[in-house]
Structure 1
Amino acid sequence: MNDYYFAHFFKKHTGLSFGKYLAKIRLEKAKRMILTTNKPLTEIAIDCGFCNVKMLYRVFKNAEGCSPSEYRQSKMREQKSNLSNEKLNVKSYNNNRREIQYTQYIAAIDDRAVLNEPYNGSLYGSGIKDINVTENIGQSVKVSFNSDKHGKPFVHYWKKLICAGRAAEGLREQWRNQLREIQRELKFEYIRFHGIFHDEMMVYDEKDGIPFFNWKYVDSLFDFLLEIGLRPIVEFGFMPDSLKSGDKTVCWWKGNVTPPSDYSKWAKLVRELVVHCINRYGRAEVLKWYFEVWNEPNYSDFWAGSREDYFKLYKYTAEAVKSVDPRLKVGGPAIFEGYREDMSWMEDFLAFCENNNLPVDFVSYHYYPTSSAVDENGNTLILYKDENSTYMGLKRLKNVVMRSGFKDAEIIIGEWNSSFSPKDFVHDTMYKAPFVIHNVLKCSGIVDALGWWVFSDIFEEFRLDNRAFSGGFGLVTVHGLKKPAYYGYWFLSKLGTEEIDSGDCYFVTRKDDSIQILMWNYCHYNTKFSAGDRSGLTQYSRYEIFDEKKLYVRLEVTGLKGKYRVREYIMDRTHGSVFDAKICWRRVCRLTGWDIRHILIFTIRLSSE
């Protein structure tokens, strides 16, 4: 059949020319991929047979009357607005699906769909007049204690650990300047990050099958950290290119997540690093460090092998570390609790180590108080657990460890935040200060370290967002502005070492001859937002998603003698919150140097004596 005859035959029986029919098929496939994947449009265009992304745009515009980007955004908004709690069958979903991919989660939580929403409020009026706050009935609390009361020891366990994105970021001066400033005020003890073995750190190569090691970048990073009073929790990962067994990677910087092609060479790499650190910093120093095996091996995005493959990796790694000095601390498995709240992975890991006489000096774990589900249309939803979920999650972990053969092991939460998305607008809000305080104090005594993920918005698992307040994880923005989460830790740092009294919204301590009273008003997400409807969270409006309430406190202190001084620090949306500073409403996307200086003036802590 020649081309001319085929063309006439096809059009006669389908009503379309073959060219138009093929374009229709390609368009339908592109629409499905736009709605169900997070692939860039350039990649979708090639996958669907378009010669370039311009052709995809042209066909889309003709057929749908909008661009592919506009189509994706409009469908996301439509799907969100059509959701209801009745349509959300979370239980059924959780029983039938193993996990949500990391990129799916980010796509669901990324609020770029509202990037161009117009801001209709006053930009230059005094105060913040244009924010609507729905307040529930106020709560009254009486705080009464005797200043002479003997309390109990209070350990600042939250200072044990702070986190960063990856090792290579620590070679930059801006990153270092921010961490140096944080250490000046908050004085964390350890820091954890990914990628010490990533190829951008240039630690490993082979020539004719012979390994070669280069520690120059590692030395630069570790030298700096120790100089500012931080010790590393050395997370062994990801896989160097010369040791990989496959090509699967994660994150924008493409960390290879496959098991090693040669476990003996992997063990040699681990051992050489440990020996080098002892030679450089001294045995007494390195004995205080922690060595962690990989990151989130229960999550297929971060580990391409099986559970048994990870157990093998842990065996080789732990034995390599202990071969240098049996007193060195090694642990894992650095898994995260998913939506199932299933601890079987952790139980299997601890049982494997116990049955094979492997050391577990510390148990590492990640916790985010979120869950995932899919509605009836196949859309990924992010669900938020209740205000006690962090406490309950850590209690579950503690119970598992105490039932194992490693009940004396330290418990280190290597990652924790309100969600595991670096594009969550909530991260910039005033909510994060009481979130930090509420959870840190409630979880005191359960774990040995609760590591905040991460200290800075200089974080590149995905491409860096160009907005000043893009919902990054950090305690500080890319510009170094201190967000409310930072001040949550700042208030905690003011507490003493003796707990005198405490309640749901207050904590009283003593240090020397001074008394510290910390009070906070924690407001959790409303039911609609918790169930996955993000329509109330936009670039300019970020507080409609909370069940806000007033808190009335009556403070009564007895036992005081002689003269005393009262110093008060206040933090709220009009005192100290960089996002809520009125200058930010004018420059919410990008900030000039002038803006930053004026925001810093706005956010100076206010005190009265």
Structure 2
Amino acid sequence: MTNISGATADEARRDWQARIYKASGTAAPSAGVTLTAPGGLRATAGVAQVTLSWEPVEGAAGYLVHRSDHVDGPFEPIRQPDVDVPAVPGTSYVDTGMAGPRWYVVTAIAAMDVVGPLSAPVPATPLAGPPATEEAPREPAPEGMPEVAVRVHAGRVTRPLPRPWRHMVGSEHLSHLLSADKTGGRPIGAELTEALRIMHDELGVSTVRAHAILCDDLGVYREVDGAPVHDFSGVDTVYDAIMSFGMRPIVELSFMPRDLARDPSQTVFGYGAIISPPHDYDRWGDLVQALVAHLVARYGLEEVRDNWAFEVWNEANLEVFWSGTPEEFFRLYDVSAAAVKSVDPALRVGGPSSAANGWVDELLTHVAASGAAVDFISTHTYGNAPLDWRPALARHGREGTPIWWTEWGPTPTHFHGIGDGAFGAAFLLHGMRSAAGRLDSLSHWVASDHFEELGRPQALFHGGFGLLTVGNLRKPRFWALSLADRLGDEELEATVHGDVAGVESWAARGSGRVGVLLWNSTLNQAQADGDPLLDRYVTVTVEDLPPGEYELRHHRVDESHSNIRTAWRSMGGGDGWPTGEQWAELHAVDALEEFAPPDRVNARGGPVAIRFALPMPGVSYLEFSPIAGSAERSAE
């Protein structure tokens, strides 16, 4: 490999592209897992889509949907070009963007190398026009648009509302907080700091995870006359900064300091993060122990024990992030875990922090033999909802171990742009709703477009990973999480019927208010800019509202609402940066927009029904707030 320390952005990108999909090696395969074929596979055709459903398989982490033009195959998994794991966690899948008859089969997976047998095939052909269904509204929708009925029971609480986005968010390496440089005329360090503050204050996010806390730019380790010297003053500076507004770090123990690296020429990113194993594992363990002990001394044992955690490395199952073998990574894990626990046994440590669901089962198998601690399981995926690792934990006798997805988002690809519009907003809600209640953290990668792994942004909309642009303008993805966070603390029963396609619903109540969040999405990235055939006309019926009058607010995220990218384009913005006047204009319109003016609705006569068109992609949020005194008047 090439040493890319100090590399240009183009050099860093070429190096990344050459290595990103290469595995760093094959870990010991999973064993003792037997899966059956999914039963009850059913294909239901709708307009421009086919919805598949099947019965769950014991021990499955997810399911792969296969498709063919013929009943005899060959059947190939349905893959998107920018999705690293095509398997879905649940027992349904919506196939869009296809025409003509197709045959489908499904298989269960228990780990990335454990795949069960195929189900029996079923045929389906997407419809060209709206179907007749008993559950769909009787009144015709505009222009024959397919209809969906959403029914919310305001009196039926299902559980406390899970909020998996609140635990963690990702960030560029935290030394970027100290940068005095500018991107697009905006101050990097100050805006990245403010972006993390926004995550905490507006979305309720409590921790931040970032790479490279052990890299040489913070000066944590050097060897003088052959002896190790530790210096954590740079770490203190960045951790003090995030602690100042209430966030805590998830300490990713990476990457390798130059003087400790076996081969310092093995690097990644434009800032030359060293991905080599240590030349001395004892010195690595001493460094980790010294760092953890320092943090405990500085911030307090109770603080670090209760609010922090330590994650070992980043995506060691990829060659681009680990130049050693799988066995060397598992040794690094054992040494790191022991070092953390030597400071205090109650401190939390976990991993494998892997790409694309890799090495989860393998790590669990390894620590069963080595005895190393695992206080949480962490992995990553992009472009799909996270898989369900609870069966694997149960198989290893570790039921209840927290599951953290420490990187997740619409795309794993730098400068892709797939998530900057309404598609990203609907995608985030699909993933968060899927994850709610079955995992402990779903961390969006990342908070801000102030990001320099493969070069700093060259334009306002450059396809950055951030929820916020340079300049801290809120993207549609940010507004999606903001709306989800506005839901009350008591989740409500909600059902969806009709030609549903990608329409989903999430409802909750709190402080007298009832919120209903809906979105229309697809996993087919070729339709990210929209497809009129997947637009749906929705009737939302809310039952069991306490009698009285309510103010109804309807907020929308779509191509023309709450979409700062559209605002930039309407100003004639292209592949560049705003002027000073344009920045002011963009900040003035950077807001969550209403789809319709506030309305008053009366719940005295029974259920309340609201009808509207919901594009794909698109998000709507209905909020019913009681009007003071109306309940008393209703009782008179």
Q: Shared topology, TM-score over 0.5? A: yes
Match runs of 1:258-407 below 5 Å: 258-288=276-306, 289-337=308-356, 345-369=359-383, 389-390=384-385, 393-395=386-388, 397-407=389-399
For residue 481 of structure 1, what is the aligned residue in structure 2?
473
Letter in 2 for 1:517: V
Per-residue deviation at 1:407? 2.5
Question: 2: CA distance between counterparts of 1:576 and 1:165?
Answer: 25
Residues 285-332 of structure 1 deviation map (CA, whole Å, 9 limit, x = unaligned): 000211011001110100000010011101111111111100110111
Structure 2 stretches of 5 or more lacking a match?
Answer: 1-9, 17-67, 86-127, 131-143, 179-188, 496-502, 599-636
What is the rounded CA distance, in whole Å, between the counterparts of 2:407 and 2:129 in structure 1?
Answer: 32
1:580 matches 2:566: yes
Q: Say if 1:584 and 1:168 are closer, same or farther in 2 by CA, change over 3 A.
A: farther
Preserved contact between residue 366 and residue 413 of structure 1 (Cα < 8 Å) = yes
Inter-CA distance 588–551: structure 2 relative to 1 (3 Å threshold): same
User: 1:556 & 1:185 partners in 2: Cα distance?
Assistant: 29
Measured after TM superposition, the shift of residue 215 of structure 1 is: 1.5
Q: Secondary structure of the residue that 1:505 maps to in structure 2?
A: strand
Question: Aligned ranges for residues 1-80 of structure 1 at < 5 Å?
Answer: 38=14
3-state DSSP of counterpart to 1:456? coil
Quote how far apart the aligned CAs of 1:588 are.
2.0
The aligned counterpart of 1:79 is: none
Give yes or no for contact 1:583–1:598 (8 Å, CA) kept in 2: no
Matched, 1:194 2:193: no
Cα distance change of structure 1 residues 403 and 202 upon mapping to structure 2, 3 Å threshold? same
CA-to-partner distance for each residue in 1:350-382, whole Å, 9 max, x for gaps? 11101121110001101113xxxxxxxxxxxxx
**Is the 1:525–1:547 Cα contact (8 Å) retained in structure 2?**
no
The structure-2 alpha-carbon separation of the partners of 1:558 and 1:328, relative to structure 1 and needing over 3 Å to count, comes to: same
Q: Evaluate the alpha carbon distance shift between residue 361 and residue 524 of structure 1 in structure 2; reply closer, same or farther with a 3 A threshold.
A: closer
Alpha-carbon spacing, 1:548–1:325, altered in 2? closer, same or farther (3 Å): farther
Task: Compute the displacement of 1:469 (Å).
Answer: 0.5
Q: Deviations over 1:67-107 (max 9, x none)?
A: xxxxxxxxxxxxxxxxxx99xx9979x9xxxx99xxxxxxx
Q: CA deviation at 1:506?
A: 1.4
Change over 3 Å in CA distance of 1:135–1:311 after alignment to 2: farther
Using the alignment, how far apart are the partners of 1:586 and 1:606 within structure 2? 21
Deviation at 1:573, TM superposition (A): 1.5
In the alignment, the residues of structure 1 paired with residue 332 and residue 523 of structure 2 have an alpha-carbon distance, to the nearest angstrom, of 40
Give the structure with higher Rg (CA). 1
| More moved, 176-185 vs 320-329 | 176-185
Counterpart residue number, 2:510: 511
Q: Check 1:585–1:403 CA distance in 2 against 1; reply closer, same or farther (3 A cut).
A: farther
Instruction: Tell me which amino acid in the other structure corresponds to 1:158.
Output: W
* Paired position in structure 1 for 2:256: 239
- TM score, norm. by length of structure 2: 0.67
1:229-252 deviation per Cα after TM superposition (whole angstroms, max 9, x unaligned): 211110001000110001200011
- Give the secondary structure class of the aligned counterpart of 1:469: coil
Match of 1:203 among 213, 216, 220: 220
3-state DSSP class of the match of 2:172? strand
> For each residue in 1:26-70, what CA deviation from the matched residue of structure 2 results, as whole angstroms up to 9, or x when unmatched?
xxxxxxxx9xx9369xxxxxxxxxxxxxxxxxxxxxxxxxxxxxx
Q: CA deviation at 1:571?
A: 1.9
CA contact (8 A) 2:209 2:250 kept: yes
8 Å contact from structure 1 (residues 135, 549) kept in 2: no
Q: List, as ranges, runs of 4+ consecutive aligned residues in structure 1 with deviation greater than 6 Å.
A: 89-92, 134-137
Q: Take 2:166 and 2:202, find their aligned partners in 1: how far apart are those partners?
A: 11
Q: State the SS of the aligned residue for 1:586.
A: coil
| Equivalent residue for 2:427, pick from 426, 429, 435 | 435
Higher-strand-fraction structure: 2
- Does 1:456 find its partner at 2:482? no
**Does the residue aligned with 1:427 lie in a helix, a strand or coil?**
coil
Corresponding position of 2:194:
177
Query: How many angstroms does 1:547 deviate by?
Result: 7.1
Aligned residue identity for 2:171: A
Does residue 257 in structure 1 map to residue 242 in structure 2?
A: no
**Match status 1:592 vs 2:579:** yes
1:577 CA displacement: 0.4
Relative to total residues, which structure has the larger helix share, 1 or 2? 1
Q: Secondary structure at the match of 1:413?
A: strand
C-alpha deviations, 1:121-177, integer Å up to 9, x for none?
Answer: xxxxxxxxxxxxx99973322222343334322121221110002121132222102
Give the counterpart letter for 1:543 in structure 2: D
Instruction: Output the CA distance in 2 between the equivalents of 1:91 and 1:496.
Output: 42
More off after superposition, 254-263 vs 136-145: 136-145
Deviations 1:165-214 (A, max 9, x none): 21211322221022223322112011100000000011111111222121
Distance 2:402 2:154 in 1: 34
Q: Which amino acid aligns with 1:140?
A: E
Q: CA deviation at 1:435?
A: 0.8
3-state SS of the aligned residue for 1:421? Answer: coil
The one-letter code matched in structure 1 to 2:490 is E
Letter in 2 for 1:511: G
Q: State the identity %.
A: 30
| Partner residue of 2:538 out of 546, 553, 561 | 553
CA 1:520/1:242 → structure 2, altered by over 3 Å: closer, same or farther?
Answer: same
The DSSP-based 3-state class of the residue aligned with 2:145 is strand
The residue aligned with 2:414 is: 422
Distance 1:265 1:582, change over 3 A: closer
- Match for residue 167 of structure 1? 174
Corresponding residue number in structure 1 for 2:49: none
Larger deviation, residues 430-439 vs 179-188: 179-188
Q: 1:483-515: per-residue Cα shift (whole Å, max 9, x none)?
A: 111111111110111111234521110113111
User: Does structure 1 conserve the Cα–Cα contact (< 8 Å) formed by 2:419 and 2:425?
Assistant: no
Cα shift at 1:415: 0.4
Listed one character per residue, the Cα deviations across residues 238-289 of structure 1 (whole Å, up to 9, x for unaligned) are 0001100012000111100000001111111101111111111111000021
CA contact (8 A) 1:578 1:584 kept: no
Q: Distance in 2 between matches of 1:567 and 1:312?
A: 55
Gaps of 5+ in 1: 1-33, 41-84, 101-133, 370-388, 531-541
Q: Give the aligned partner of residue 566 of structure 1.
A: 552
In structure 2, C-alpha distance between the alignment counterparts of 1:220 and 1:447, rounded to whole Å: 32
SS of equivalent residue, structure 1 residue 191: strand
